[in-house]
Amino acid sequence: MPFTVPVLPEGVDPAWLPPGAFRAVGSRRTLIQGSGPLVETVHGEAAWACARFGGGVDRAAGSGTSAYDLVFRVEQGYRDEEFACGRSGGTTVVTASGGRGLLYGLFHVVRLGEDAFHGERPAEVHRPAVALRMLDHWDNVAVHPVMGQVERGYAGGSLFWRDGRARGESERVRAYARLLAACGINAVAVNNVNVHETEAHLLTDRIGDVAALAEQFRAYGIRTHLSVTFAAPVVLGGPATADPLDAGVRGWWAEATARVYESIPDFGGYVVKADSEGQPGPFAYGRSHADGANMLAAALEPYGGTVHWRAFVYDHRQDWRDRSTDRARAAYDHFAPLDGEFAANAVLQVKHGPMDFQVREPVSPVIGAMPRTRLAVEFQATQEYTGQQRHVCWLGPMWSEVLRFRPDAETAVGALADGLVAVSNAGDDPYWTGHPLAQANLYTFGRLAWDPGAGPGDVLREWIGLTHPDAPERLVDGLHAVLDGSWRTYEKYTAPLGVGFMVQPGHHYGPSVDGYEYSPWGTYHFADRDGVGVDRSAATGTGYAAQYAKVWAEVYESPDTCPDELALFFHHLPYGHVLRGGSTLIQHIYDTRFEGVAEVEAAREVWGSLAGLMEPARHARVAELYEEQLRSAREWRDQVNSYFFRKSGVPDARGRRIY
Amino acid sequence: MPFTVPVLPEGVDPAWLPPGAFRAVGSRRTLIQGSGPLVETVHGEAAWACARFGGGVDRAAGSGTSAYDLVFRVEQGYRDEEFACGRSGGTTVVTASGGRGLLYGLFHVVRLGEDAFHGERPAEVHRPAVALRMLDHWDNVAVHPVMGQVERGYAGGSLFWRDGRARGESERVRAYARLLAACGINAVAVNNVNVHETEAHLLTDRIGDVAALAEQFRAYGIRTHLSVTFAAPVVLGGPATADPLDAGVRGWWAEATARVYESIPDFGGYVVKADSEGQPGPFAYGRSHADGANMLAAALEPYGGTVHWRAFVYDHRQDWRDRSTDRARAAYDHFAPLDGEFAANAVLQVKHGPMDFQVREPVSPVIGAMPRTRLAVEFQATQEYTGQQRHVCWLGPMWSEVLRFRPDAETAVGALADGLVAVSNAGDDPYWTGHPLAQANLYTFGRLAWDPGAGPGDVLREWIGLTHPDAPERLVDGLHAVLDGSWRTYEKYTAPLGVGFMVQPGHHYGPSVDGYEYSPWGTYHFADRDGVGVDRSAATGTGYAAQYAKVWAEVYESPDTCPDELALFFHHLPYGHVLRGGSTLIQHIYDTRFEGVAEVEAAREVWGSLAGLMEPARHARVAELYEEQLRSAREWRDQVNSYFFRKSGVPDARGRRIY
């Protein structure tokens, strides 16, 4: 059956692949040389574009290419996923060693648009800096009584599951795969890392549901992964233990994995959240996390699979009275001593910061501390703590900062990790991501995973150009204006200076300054009448700062050298402390809250001015969301300011209204 | 069919009616003279007791009584529910004008036990001070996605409903009715005042479910009431409006009510929560609450029914920034101007305090302010804010204080209200109330409703005596010790000095000092670095204090005269303010938190010493709950103390540990 481009269901937004994005390719004469399933995908894409825009596609092996504007050619000498693209004699040529590289080359040409077909350009080789570019879906199969269909999902239901069953909507899944491939993603985990009863069965009797998804993803070069529970043998009627050193347990996993690969020959592997927030793990059997991960790695190894073992392990039943325990230390303390003990096909998946996807955290000290371990860095595209897809908060600059972080003088930019993972922000919402502008986060993640050194502003312009082809300059500039600084704006009106949290317990939307202050979650700010912040210095605090290599440990150790944006993450400071920026701590808190709200007001104005330049429904949806964002931003401003005014007694130097 | 005493399902606790409580009655020769359904109940009870303890029961009209130890006789000259009890010539005689009075007389004799059968005593007339002694069940028929089967229920599921259906467990309902009658309750509303979709239909097509319950309650002299939605005509397919002055609407209610009485001839009436926390009401039509209540009163009037109209009306979408609005004022502001406008069979149901069942509130100023309106005072036996039946918190003393409150010099003790209502704390738990000791709250409510002037300590001893017949003195004293001061203990470790709330949002269990501080619920304490509390004075505050008659308005107006326990309810005070008791405010907060925890520790010790003196399962259950109470009390102590230490900077004068 020849490959056909998926048809979007009625009313579903094409996101960054509207037909107009294919105009340049679709109006050319294209030759495709080579064979294989993904070459068929390239052919199908080109044919679909040409049918729409008047070009044409030929297939031929070894014939002359001069009659064509665009040639895709399989040619040996490239690494997997790599492709070269150049232009000479009026022909643009994309070469790769297989269909996978050609597919990325095709989307490269789509991004170039008309520029791909002008002048001469020497062949340039493109390859992903990171081999594993993955989305983790926190989708439940059965609706969870508290967390719902998608845990921390803000984009409607799951694309894959509904009410305990597979949705079976293959066209939509394939359309999703196409969007992901177009920004460079090559792996998807299809269920939540919190694996409940129903989801446990995906590994065994319900593997067919996973295989059906894998078939759709495969057409766009994406491997499918599965989140499994460490207790699977026990839960699924195998051995009565899940001890990773037990021969019966190892045999059970080997057997289960063999059966998975019978269904899904290119299965990517397992994702495991163990000994974390109530999930079972090797600690119960007195084994290390390396023992746990390596057991699964051994089961996957014969088939080329990988286990993603999450490093999100901490005490979630901490006593707030105990100020000696620091959750931020936990991942390093648990995992750094295990460096070198993990199998070659085990990947330790580390959240980018030491806490939990706050708007501002330092880069996790685990990154850089385990040179003999394969690491993946985990981002959160779903905006749990960054506005829940009701606020515009484009995370490109934050991710870029993390990716450019150099743990020590030896580390090259972008060399942090063997894999980059994001928790997906997509669902069955007509715009895929709830907030239409949140599409930019998903796209940006994929592009930065491919090229961690890319400028986020350039990626943003790419996304705008694809999503709104032929947009007038005013629209391009307007979209850029409302997105580009939106993360820093969000930071300004929420928890200040890296202190984190201050959110409503449970759902995490909206402010509650003390919401997690006396909780068991290890997330405290310690505000009193004199000051606020967490002393994580080595000299007087929890010692977390010393988990970094010397160059950073020294920077973070003192408030005099610590970057302002992390001042309260690393230090407990008096309200009168003068920050490096020149303001007192308390005045900085007031000023930035007022600025943040003013910036949302300005963005709302800009958005209003864009009416008429795009589909009215899209404009209206974002306009409506801006009303909520502004209400919420004002609530943040006023609660944070009132809280600190009541604590400090220091009035705003500029006499603005604090309640 | 002759009346038989309900058989308790296996494993269900007999509460305050264990067989042993009937030993004195059951070992006597009893004569019953009279007829009627409730006389049959009396006969059935006596026969059941005698079968167990060797006595005997005869029925005869007008024959000689000297051969009997105990005589129940119908005799004219008494008011409904009234009975006389005396003893002469070796015969104890209970007389009443009907079975209802005789039934209360029977339980009176049960309470007296052997004392009823010794010496001579002149006939003494007993009558309830309050005609309407009601329990409101906040039971949902369908499980509510957030609130569950029983809203604010801490005793398992509903006795009446499960998963959208009537449970149909008539024996257990009758056993419940028997317990209620034994403490004097004569009315029950069988569904939640928040009337959702499923529950709305109880009024019409599902009235049969209500009639089945009414049949069980009727056997013990209890009338059944129904909570209805004000929007019933609209919701149930009647007129498209619920305007109380619309003739079609009035006709719809008249018709619906007629059909209710066809099913339940002794139906008690409706309970309505209107224009409150999202429930519909007359405000939507520009009508007053008197208009709304009177429309329903008119529909009920021909049948002798009553409408209970709740006065719990306030703005639950308040802006915390707006310090001019005071939720405490709301009931008075809404209802006092309507005095004299309510129909004779409309009862305004007023929560005992102006806020919402906090551990300490002043008595609502509505009580005493509406002399031309029938009022019912509403208590909350279900311990929403008083430990949720995981903490021992016997509310007798609190209720007694309310009932003894005299709004002005003219009011007699116990003359506050035409009705007393409690939100039930019972469910399908084997001990009825979750915490076995919470049974004492239900019992005490009934007894205080019968006699508001009764000493709560006497009622407590009554409850102990019935629940543990033949208990050794050590057990009696132990039970008394752990219950008697438990409300004040609870007050000591939770929100101080009447300020209220400071609970976890949503579920309301456990501390969160700022949990409601920036919420829309109107429940603030305004703590800052200098002081805490709400200024409700007339001179400088919200003016709430002026809603009272002069004698109280003057007392509450000044911190110099305001009782300490309400200091922060009425005043915003600096931490250094010296209370009437001699402590500074901040030191009082610290001291009472430490005392409260010490008292829980002591009570736990006492409880431990009672092992072996009761059924082991009961002892173990309470012992286990004490562990949770102590953990929670310490959490309260430490969070409240840390919060105020961080705000005030004032150390504990006694140097105890504040985190």
Query: What structural domains does chain A harbor?
Result: 19-126 (3.30.379.10), 132-454 (3.20.20.80), 491-534+572-648 (3.90.1330.10)
Report the half-sphere exposure of B166 (CA within 13 A, side-chain side).
17
Instruction: Collect all residues of chain B within an 8 Å Cβ-Cβ radius of residue A320.
Output: 659
Q: Which of residues 466-505 of A touch B (CB under 8 A)?
A: 504-505
From A529, which residue of chain B is nearest by alpha-carbon distance? Answer: B647
Banded model confidence at residue A194, pLDDT cuts 50, 70, 90 = very high
Is A356 labeled as catalytic in the residue annotation? Answer: yes
For A79-140, the DSSP string reads -TT-EEEEEETTEEEEEESSHHHHHHHHHHHHHHGGGGGSS-EEEEEE--SSSEEEEE--EE
Instruction: Collect all residues of chain B within an 8 Å Cβ-Cβ radius of residue A318.
Output: none
Overall average pLDDT of the B51-63 stretch: 88
The sign one gets for the Cα dihedral A588, A589, A595, A599 is positive
Cα–Cα dist B220/B102, whole Å = 11
Q: Do A512 and B529 touch (CB under 8 A)?
A: no
List CB contacts of A429: < 8 A, sequence separation 6 or more: A155, A156
pLDDT score recorded for residue A61: 67
Report the half-sphere exposure of B537 (CA within 13 A, side-chain side).
18
Banded model confidence at residue B417, pLDDT cuts 50, 70, 90 = confident
Q: Which of residues 221-240 of A touch B (CB under 8 A)?
A: none
- For B438-448, what is each residue's pLDDT tens digit? 999 999 999 99
Q: Which amino acid is at B532?
A: V
pLDDT score recorded for residue B636: 98
pLDDT score recorded for residue B413: 63
pLDDT reading at A234 higher than 90: yes
Measure CB to CB from residue A659 to each of B321, B514, B643 and give the nearest one.
Answer: B321
DSSP state, residue A655: -
Instruction: Collect all residues of chain A within an 8 Å Cβ-Cβ radius of residue B645.
Output: 528
Q: Name the active-site residue from A81, A356, A451, A591.
A: A356
pLDDT score recorded for residue B414: 62
Overall average pLDDT of the B568-585 stretch: 98
CB atoms within 10 A of CB A180: 26
**Angle at the Cα of B556 from the Cα atoms of B551 and B559, rounded to 5 degrees:** 135
CB-based contact (8 Å) between B319 and chain A?
no
Give the strand pairing for B91-96 and B70-74. Answer: parallel
The arrangement of strands across the sheet holding A29-33 comes to A56-59, A29-33, A70-74, A91-96, A83-88, A121-126
- For A29-63, what is each residue's pLDDT tens digit? 999 999 999 999 999 999 999 999 999 999 986 66
Report the half-sphere exposure of A486 (CA within 13 A, side-chain side).
32
Instruction: Collect all residues of chain B within an 8 Å Cβ-Cβ radius of residue A511.
Output: 518
Length of chain A: 659
Nearest CA of chain B to the CA of A585: how many Å? 17
pLDDT score recorded for residue B63: 67
Cα–Cα dist A398/A353, whole Å = 11
CB-based contact (8 Å) between A627 and chain B?
no
In a mutational test of the A interface, the residue from B147, B320, B321, B503 whose CB has the highest number of chain A CBs within 10 Å is: B321
**Angle at the Cα of B95 from the Cα atoms of B89 and B100, rounded to 5 degrees:** 150
pLDDT reading at A414 higher than 80: no
Mean pLDDT computed over every residue of chain A: 96
Write down the residue that tokens 């070796």 correspond to. B90
pLDDT reading at A424 higher than 90: yes
CB-count exposure of residue A119 (10 Å: 0-12, 13-18, 19+): exposed
- For A526-552, what is each residue's pLDDT tens digit? 999 999 999 999 999 999 999 999 999
Cα–Cα dist B106/A17, whole Å = 83
Note the helical H segments in A522-584.
550-557, 567-570
Residue A506 main-chain phi, psi, to 5 deg: 85, -75
pLDDT reading at B61 higher than 80: no
Q: Do A511 and B518 touch (CB under 8 A)?
A: yes
- For B608-659, what is each residue's pLDDT tens digit? 999 999 999 999 999 999 999 999 999 999 999 999 999 999 999 999 999 9
Q: Do residues A462 and A447 touch, judged by C-beta distance below 8 A? A: yes
Nearest CA of chain B to the CA of A324: how many Å? 12
Measure CB to CB from residue B518 to each of A639, A648, A649 and give the nearest one.
Answer: A639
Nearest CA of chain B to the CA of A514: how many Å? 7
Measure CB to CB from residue B659 to each of A321, A514, A647 and give the nearest one.
Answer: A321
CB-based contact (8 Å) between B148 and chain A?
no
pLDDT score recorded for residue B248: 97
CB-based contact (8 Å) between B514 and chain A?
yes
pLDDT score recorded for residue A524: 97
Distances (CA, A) of A637 to A116, A589, A632, A656: 47, 9, 9, 12
Measure CB to CB from residue B647 to each of A529, A638, A645 and give the nearest one.
Answer: A529
Nearest CA of chain A to the CA of B631: how many Å? 12
pLDDT reading at B296 higher than 80: yes
Nearest to B185 by CA among B464, B462, B380, B422: B422
Measure CB to CB from residue A646 to each of B320, B528, B638 and give the nearest one.
Answer: B528
DSSP state, residue B158: -
Instruction: Collect all residues of chain B within an 8 Å Cβ-Cβ radius of residue A650.
Output: none
Instruction: Collect all residues of chain B within an 8 Å Cβ-Cβ radius of residue A531.
Output: none
- For A318-327, what is each residue's pLDDT tens digit? 999 999 899 9
Banded model confidence at residue A600, pLDDT cuts 50, 70, 90 = very high
Positions of B marked catalytic: 277, 356, 384
- For B255-288, what is each residue's pLDDT tens digit? 999 999 999 999 999 999 999 888 899 999 999 9
List CB contacts of B367: < 8 A, sequence separation 6 or more: B350, B352, B375, B377, B405, B407, B416, B417
Instruction: Collect all residues of chain A within an 8 Å Cβ-Cβ radius of residue B321.
Output: 638, 642, 659
From B526, which residue of chain A is nearest by alpha-carbon distance? Answer: A646
pLDDT score recorded for residue A471: 95
In a mutational test of the B interface, the residue from A320, A504, A509, A518 whose CB has the highest number of chain B CBs within 10 Å is: A518
Nearest CA of chain A to the CA of B659: how many Å? 6
Instruction: Collect all residues of chain B within an 8 Å Cβ-Cβ radius of residue A645.
Output: 528
- For B462-517, what is each residue's pLDDT tens digit? 999 999 999 999 999 999 999 999 999 999 999 999 999 999 999 999 999 999 99
- Give, for A378, the enclosing helix (H) or strand (E): strand A374-380
In a mutational test of the A interface, the residue from B528, B631, B638, B644 whose CB has the highest number of chain A CBs within 10 Å is: B528
Nearest CA of chain A to the CA of B514: how many Å? 7
Nearest CA of chain A to the CA of B642: how many Å? 9
DSSP state, residue B318: -
Nearest to B40 by CA among B70, B6, B4, B69: B4
Overall average pLDDT of the B184-193 stretch: 98
pLDDT score recorded for residue A62: 65
- For A249-298, what is each residue's pLDDT tens digit? 999 999 999 999 999 999 999 999 999 888 899 999 999 999 999 999 99
Helix, strand, coil distribution of chain B in percent, nearest 5: 40, 15, 45
Q: Which amino acid is at A4?
A: T
Measure CB to CB from residue A529 to each of B505, B512, B646 and give the nearest one.
Answer: B646
pLDDT score recorded for residue A581: 96
Measure CB to CB from residue B514 to each of A321, A506, A513 and give the nearest one.
Answer: A513
From A531, which residue of chain B is nearest by alpha-carbon distance? Answer: B646
Taking the model in full, what pTM does it have? 0.93
DSSP-derived 3-state class of residue A648:
helix
Q: Name the active-site residue from A163, A205, A262, A277.
A: A277
Overall average pLDDT of the B547-551 stretch: 95
CB-based contact (8 Å) between A163 and chain B?
no
